[in-house]
Amino acid sequence: MSTEGEYYVPESSKLPLFAAIGLGIIAVGAGSWVQGQSSLTFWVGSFVIAATLYKWFSIVINENMAGMNSDQLKRSYVWGMSWFIFSEVMFFAVFFGSLWYIRALVLPWLGGETTATTSNDLLWSGFEPTWPLMVTPDQAANGESAQFTGPEQNMSFPGWDRILQWLPLWNTVILLSSSVTVHIAHTGLKNNDRKKFNLWLGITVLLGMIFLVLQAEEYIEAYVHMGLTLESGIYGTIFFMMTGFHGAHVTFGTIMLLVQFLRGLKGHFNDKDQFGFEAASWYWHFVDVVWVGLFLFVYILA
């Protein structure tokens, strides 16, 4: 049993090496996949990292359940998770910054706002510096711009008459509701109400899954019905990059909460020791806040 002032030092492990190898395989596989090659390498890397994390976290959980973690070590977990979320904030800040840079600075420059040279001299005849920009120079040069024009061909606000069919709105309602449900679950755990904790955390996991299903449906609608793809100009690239990475974070967050839900069913956590769940809930609230920004700047103001 570890006490205050002591710091438990685990045995030497090869798990960090396996994690690095898995991430490396994922990077190579992802690069090959987007170039039209097989996705097998990516999924092999994903399996390696998933198996490594499962083993790694199992060890950490067992150590904590055995009382090996001192207060000092638990504080290091808090700081570690805090810095991790901060790094994620900076990650998305780059995306939002890129969106602002393109819309507020690049398009006016290309439109000749600050120079005598117009975009027609730099890009193609008939170019208009308006957002959303869904045409690339190659598409314009080859006469393909028509299929990417028109306000119906992007994912922005469709009008009040179609608002109930607008999937991003329902995703917003679902994700914000999940932030409330995870808070209720946290309240139940603090009050040692195990039934309340399990119920509302299970609802949160279900809402996360529903969000992912609706986002997949949104992508199908964009690709199949609108012709909006990653190649649809800078708008298509930014839209899928920002919403796609957020979707990946929702996936990770849902998995994290699912693990905490399964641990809760086993009787893990109490009002004094609940960091595993708290870390997952912090991450989930972060994901919710990012979505609010996406909904405002990518959908509403598109």
User: Maximum Cα–Cα distance for the chain, whole Å?
Assistant: 74
List, in order, residues 6 or more apart from 275 with CB less than 8 Å away: 74, 77, 78
Alpha-carbon separation of residue 175 from 40, 178, 247 (angstroms) = 31, 5, 11
Classified as helix, coil or strand, 25 is: helix
Where the chain has pLDDT below 50, the residues are: 1-3, 145-152
Least Cα distance to 286 among 121, 133, 158, 175 occurs for 175
Domains of the chain: 1-69 (1.10.287.70), 70-300 (1.20.120.80)
CA distance 293 to 89: 12
In this structure, what are the phi and psi dihedrals at residue 6, rounded to the nearest 5 degrees? -95, 155
In this structure, what are the phi and psi dihedrals at residue 140, rounded to the nearest 5 degrees? -65, -40
Give per-residue pLDDT as tens, 71-127. Answer: 888 888 899 999 999 999 999 999 999 999 988 888 888 777 666 555 555 666 667
The pLDDT score that the predictor gives to residue 35 is 86
CA distance 151 to 200: 40
CA distance 206 to 183: 15
The pLDDT score that the predictor gives to residue 151 is 37
